[in-house]
Structure 1
Amino acid sequence: MASTSRRRSRIVAFRTLFEADLSGHPLEGILVRQLQESGLTPDARAFTSALVAGVTSHQGEIDQVIRRHAPAFPLEDMAAVDRNVLRLAIYEVLFDTEPAPLRSAINEAVEIAKGYGSESSGRFVNGVLGAVALDAAVRHETDDSVADDDVDGD
């Protein structure tokens, strides 16, 4: 799938999550309507649906990651745009079975935040995702060290 289709899919997924978050209406109906109005290809629709389902199924864990990396900004008080952009990007980077490249996921999230959020949304999202990425890299190095120790018999 071309990067333009993936970007449009992410935007539709974000809009679906954002609307459900604000309205409290059932996610499924919102997703169906968003997909019908999107003009996305069948592959892009499937990608969008997978993103929404993934964020939904991992939302508790994702929200914990956000809380850990943005402790000064309670999730409940955070702008809905920022909260849902972060949920989508964190799902793609940490929980998706086919994770998005880190740099591209952060760039896409920042662009969506700039397009839909406040003047400071892009910087905020970039800062939180940068901290998430750094933490993930440190954990990955630690996991590799532990695995190396196990192989060496230490």
Structure 2
Amino acid sequence: MEWSITYLWLILALALGLAELTTGSLVLLALAIAAGLTGLTAGLGASFVWQLVAMGLLSGVLVPIMVWKVRPWFSPRGVAYGTTGTGVEKGQLYTTQRRDFDDASGIKINGDFYRLRVEDTCETELPADTSVVFQHFDGTTAVVSRHSLAPTGGTHRDKEH
């Protein structure tokens, strides 16, 4: 068996495909497909410069397609990654909690604890299990308003672990 640049592109494609198994972001899979197709261009006799052009063009097309079009098919329904702080929590009902190590008052949003501040009174300490409505973030502080009625419907966010 004689080694050629085609085999090197295919080995790169295999290595990128295997590395994708550790990330799950599908970026390395797009690069693996691009490397495999570049190996095909090498097998058809393209010069090394045209192989690099093919790799660049294929990567530039396949990576955005994988990230924006294909990856959402593999995400669980109802999960919006990277949305904390973008306003999607505004108006949601949460239950206050006390943090163990410093007894700070806060709420959990998407599993993360945020200290709170009441919008009207600027209070930073509320009793545990107080219903509050999230308004917005001020830095890393959750600005909330008190909610006096019992929750109705599916907007109530209980303690998340």
- Short-chain TM bin: under 0.3
Report 1 or 2 for greater relative contact order, CA contacts < 8 Å, sequence distance ≥ 6: 1
| Higher strand content, 1 or 2 | 2
| Higher helix content, 1 or 2 | 1
